[in-house]
Amino acid sequence: MAKTATKTVEKEAKPTKQATKAESAVAAKLEALYRLQHFDSLVDKIRTERGELPLEVQDLEDEVAGLETRMNKLSEALKAAEKAVSDKQNFIKEAKASIKNYEAQQSKVRNNREYDSLSKEIEFQNLEIQLAEKRIKEGKVAMESKSAAVEESKQLFKDRKKDLDIKRKELDDIIAETEKEERSLVKKSEAAAGEVEERLLKAYHRIRGNARNGLAVVHMERGSCGGCFNAIPPQRQLDIASHKKIIVCEHCGRILVDESIVDEVAGKNK
C-alpha cells in the first residue's frame, strides 16, 4: 500500500505533457512580445535622439507659411493703395481738362443761364479735385505705412526662412545618420509584430500608447516591475517565471517577463 501511495504522489508531482506544451506556448508568446518591444524601443531611442528638432522644424514651417501669407496680403494691400492714388491722380487730370473745356465754352455762350450752368460745372469739378487731392494725401500716408509693414514682413520672413533652413539641415543630417538603421529596425519590428497574435498585439499597442516611455513589456528587476519599479510579491514572481499565463503588473498594467525570456531574445538578436 505504501509503495502504491508513493507512486501516486510521484505521478501527481510529475508535470504532464499537456502542461509543458501550454507553458511553452505562453513562453513563445512572451518571447514574441518582448522581441517586438525590443525593436520598438530601439526605434524610439533613435527618434528620441532627434530631440525637439522635428517639432522646431514644424513650428518654423508653420511660422514661415504664416509670414508668407501675411506678406502677400500686405503687398496686395499696398498695390491697391497705389492704384487708388494713381486713379485719383488720373481723375484730377481729367477734371482739369474738363474745367479748361468748360472755360473755353464760357467765352462762347449766348446767355447768362448757359454761363451759370458752366460755372456750376467748373465749381463742381474743382470740389471733386479738392476731394481727390485729400484722398491722395490719405492714400500716400497709407502707402507709407503699408510699405513699411511689407518691408518689415519681408525681413522677418527672410530671417525665419534662414532659421528654418538651418534647422532642416540639422534634422536632415541626423536623419541621414540614422535612417538606414531606423528602416532596418522598423522592418524587424513589423516582422516581430507578425509573430504576435492579434489580441495580444492590440493589448500591446494599447499599453504602449498609455506608457510615457513606450514600454508595454518589461522584465523583473530585483523583484520589482521594470516599468513602474513597484515590488512584485514572491508568489507572483514564481508565476511569471513559470510561464503558465501572461501576467501584468498590478500597478502599471505592463506585461511582465522574467530573465529567461530576456536572455532568449538577446541570444536570438545577436
**Distance, CA of 254 to CA of 243 (rounded, Å):** 16
Does the pLDDT at position 63 exceed 90? yes
pLDDT in tens, 149-202: 999 999 999 999 999 999 999 888 888 888 889 899 999 999 999 999 999 999
Same domain, 68 and 181: yes
Does the pLDDT at position 140 exceed 90? yes
pLDDT band at 10 (very low <50, low <70, confident <90, very high): very low
Confirm whether 2 is domain-assigned.
Answer: no
Average pLDDT over residues 264-270: 78
Same domain, 132 and 89: yes
Average pLDDT over residues 24-49: 91
Same domain, 24 and 107: no
Task: State if pTM tops 0.85.
Answer: no
Confirm whether 8 is domain-assigned.
Answer: no
Nearest CA among 164, 167, 188, 166 for reference residue 46: 188
Average pLDDT over residues 119-147: 93
User: Residue 222: which domain range?
Assistant: 13-49+197-270
Confirm whether 3 is domain-assigned.
Answer: no
Inter-residue contact 256 to 249 (CB < 8 Å)? yes
What is the overall mean pLDDT for the chain? 88
**Distance, CA of 125 to CA of 119 (rounded, Å):** 10
CATH of residue 55's domain is 1.10.287.1490
Does the pLDDT at position 2 exceed 60? no
* Cell reading at 28: 513563445
- Look at the chain and report how many structural domains it folds into: 2
Same domain, 65 and 33: no
Does the pLDDT at position 38 exceed 70? yes
Confirm whether 109 is domain-assigned.
Answer: yes
